[in-house]
């Protein structure tokens, strides 16, 4: 079975993640960018296990390199970010569920690679997200009767919100939604040969759209997703058959990278070359 890590960026009520099963343990992982954790391991009565590392609840944002490194250390094969989104597309309202098909990186202050010492990391971004994780997420939620939207995700640094002029510009670029928690994790996951997907919920409308008073739509969508989450985790826990886990096979075969991925982020060993 392939272990799954969920990175919730949505605000959830206390004890909401008990839908995923009982808490087995919490671990903290040492990474080259500091400690990451506590990462909670939960086990469902059906036997499925899933790691959880919320974005909220930390005094500062965890270094995304450390987050992905910790996932690899724990034996995770798939990462799913449960993202809160701002809707640029005027057809999207609060509570809409979006599984993005592509992304635009508009971040400027976040790390973009773990390869600071190696001439590696030139990884194609086609497909932008793991195709298996993307297809499984869409199919499972659709089976549960949850309407699914696609579109282009625009990643920004935050924490400030966009101006009306920026929102209009992003829409002209073709972005449907924007958020702060997918980039650079999607790129870093590929560098560590992990599958990565996104499950997004629209919680806000873009700055240039007319304000609409909230009516409980987001709360209802989160409730429906929580109910479907155990089945989604079980579907994602199947051993991957995609090519995400061999992304860097050629670089390793050519000797550009050592076989041990734990050496990739450290100083390069030049004693042999």
Q: What is the pLDDT of residues 158-178, one digit of tens each?
A: 889 999 999 999 999 999 999
The domains of the chain are located at 3-263
Q: At the topology level of CATH, where does 3-263 sit? A: Rossmann fold (3.40.50)
Specify which residues 218 forms β-bridges with. none
The percentage of the chain sitting over the pLDDT mark of 90, rounded to a whole number, equals 76
Mean pLDDT of 57-78: 85
Q: Check whether 267 has a pLDDT greater than 60.
A: no
Residue-level pLDDT at 86: 98
- How far apart are the C-alpha atoms of 38 and 46, rounded to whole Å? 24
Question: Which stretches of the chain are assigned E, i.e. beta strand?
Answer: 3-8, 22-31, 34-43, 49-52, 76-87, 97-98, 102-105, 152-155, 175-179, 195-205
Residue-level pLDDT at 272: 47
Helical ranges in the chain per DSSP H: 64-73, 131-143, 164-173, 185-191, 217-236, 249-253
pLDDT in tens, 6-31: 999 998 887 888 889 999 999 999 99
């Amino acid at each position: 079975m392939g272990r799954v890590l969920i990175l919730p960026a949505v605000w959830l009520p206390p004890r909401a993640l008990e839908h995923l099963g009982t808490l087995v343990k919490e671990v903290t992982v040492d990474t080259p960018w500091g400690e990451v954790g506590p990462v909670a391991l939960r086990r469902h009565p059906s036997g499925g296990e899933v790691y959880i590392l919320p974005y909220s609840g930390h005094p500062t944002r965890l270094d995304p390199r450390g987050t992905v490194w910790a996932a690899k250390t724990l034996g995770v094969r798939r990462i799913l970010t449960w993202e809160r989104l701002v809707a640029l597309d005027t057809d999207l309202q609060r509570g809409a569920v979006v599984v993005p098909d592509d992304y635009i990186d508009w971040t400027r202050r976040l790390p973009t690679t773990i390869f600071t010492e190696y001439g590696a990391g030139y990884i194609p971004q086609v497909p932008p997200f793991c195709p298996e994780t993307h297809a499984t997420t869409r199919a499972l939620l659709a089976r549960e009767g949850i309407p699914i939207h696609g579109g282009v995700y625009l990643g920004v640094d935050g924490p400030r919100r966009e101006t009306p002029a920026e929102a209009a510009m992003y829409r002209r670029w073709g972005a449907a939604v924007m958020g702060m928690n997918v980039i650079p994790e999607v790129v870093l996951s590929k560098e560590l040969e992990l599958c990565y997907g996104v499950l997004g919920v629209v919680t806000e409308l873009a700055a240039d759209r007319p304000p609409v008073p909230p009516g409980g739509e987001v709360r209802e969508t989160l409730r429906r997703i929580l109910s479907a989450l155990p089945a989604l985790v079980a579907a994602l826990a199947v051993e991957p058959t995609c090519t995400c886990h061999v992304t860097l096979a050629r670089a390793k075969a050519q000797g550009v990278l050592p076989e041990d991925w734990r050496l990739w982020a450290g100083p390069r060993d030049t004693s042999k070359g």
